[in-house]
Chains A and B, each alone.
Chain A
Amino acid sequence: KQEVTQIPAALSVPEGENLVLNCSFTDSAIYNLQWFRQDPGKGLTSLLLIQSSQREQTSGRLNASLDKSSGRSTLYIAASQPGDSATYLCAARDQTGANNLFFGTGTRLTVIP
């Protein structure tokens, strides 16, 4: 069964700093990997989706990389802002059946003004 781990569990940085969030998964046979943002008590907002054949995806100040062979993905956030404060979740999509998502427990990011 796929297991997804995110490190660190929580991160606090001053505004303007660049930062990296880490995600690892145990089964490299994934369809794709998706990064989400979740504000307290709210639903999930999709940030980036990387297909299994891709190495990285970029959207604005966000860049996500994928290394399937080592079972790792990183989310890079440039020039962090207080509005980036949220929990970031990565999820690996199963290749078979329902293609459902296996989620990590998230990294809770706080950007200090």
Chain B
Amino acid sequence: ETGVTQSPTHLIKTRGQQVTLRCSSQSGHNTVSWYQQALGQGPQFIFQYYREEENGRGNFPPRFSGLQFPNYSSELNVNALELDDSALYLCASSLAETSGFEQYFGPGTRLTVT
């Protein structure tokens, strides 16, 4: 069984640029959630996708957008990067039909905006 993977591991971007982060869900999982974790803070929910549709969104502006593909892999896109977007971005996959909605997290992508 393959776990959740994310790419790239690290990324450095300049303010105003756009970035795409990628996540490959655990085998068999149909739901993916994205979280932003600033230094010293707990992760904050960005949004969730279920069967390629956005299924919920946290308090993040529209410049944070996502996609989920038929194979349940996912992308997080951030436009017009700001310095405060510097954080660890985590994706988590789960199988919606199981009890508990237990989520399995990937290792994260460290984004630095300069």
A-B pairs with beta carbons under 8 Å apart, 20 shown: A31-B101, A42-B107, A43-B4, A43-B108, A44-B43, A44-B90, A44-B105, A46-B103, A51-B99, A51-B100, A89-B43, A93-B101, A98-B48, A98-B56, A100-B33, A101-B33, A101-B35, A101-B43, A103-B42, A104-B42
Contact at A41–B88, with CB atoms within 8 Å? Answer: yes
Interface band, chain B: 20 to 34
Q: Interface residues, chain B, CB within 8 Å of chain A?
A: 4, 6, 33, 35, 40-45, 47-48, 55-58, 88, 90, 92, 99-108, 110
Residues 71-96 of chain A: 1 if any B CB is under 8 Å from the residue's CB, otherwise 0?
00000000000000000010101000
> Which of B33, B58, B100 is in CB contact (< 8 Å) with A49?
B100
Q: What are the 10 closest A-B residue pairs judged by CB atoms, nearest first?
A: A98-B56, A103-B42, A44-B105, A98-B48, A100-B45, A43-B107, A97-B56, A43-B105, A99-B101, A43-B108
Of the candidates A41, A42, A43, A46, the one whose C-beta lies within 8 Å of that of B102 is: A46
Interface of A, secondary structure class, is strand
B102 — which chain A residues lie within 8 A by C-beta? 34, 46, 49
